[in-house]
Amino acid sequence: MKECNTVLSTRLAAVEQLKNARKAQDMTQETLAERVGTKKSNISRFESGKYNPSLDFLVKIADSLGKQIQIKIK
C-alpha cells in the first residue's frame, strides 16, 4: 500500500507543479491544450488528478510551458 501512495503522491506533485507553472504564466487550459496538441478536457482532467498521464504527455506539457521534466531514481 505504501508503494501505491508513493506513486500517487509523486504524480500529484508533478501535476501541481505543472498546473502552477501554467497559472504563473497566466495561461488558460485552452491555450495549453492547443500548444500540447490535445483537448482542453484532457488538460482539465490532468490538472484535477483524474488522469494518469504518460511520461510523453508530461514532457509535452512541460515543454509547452518552457519547463523540463526531471526524474530522480533513489
Least confidently predicted of 4-8, 30-34, 46-50, 69-73: 4-8
pLDDT for 8 beyond 90:
no
pLDDT of residue 73: 84
Q: In the predicted model, what is the mean pLDDT of residues 37-62? A: 94
pLDDT band for position 16 (cuts 50, 70, 90): very high
Q: Can you spell out the DSSP letters for the chain?
A: -HHHHHHHHHHHHHHHHHHHHHHHTT--HHHHHHHHTS-HHHHHHHHHT-S---HHHHHHHHHHTT--------
> pLDDT per residue over 34-45, tens digit each?
999 999 999 999
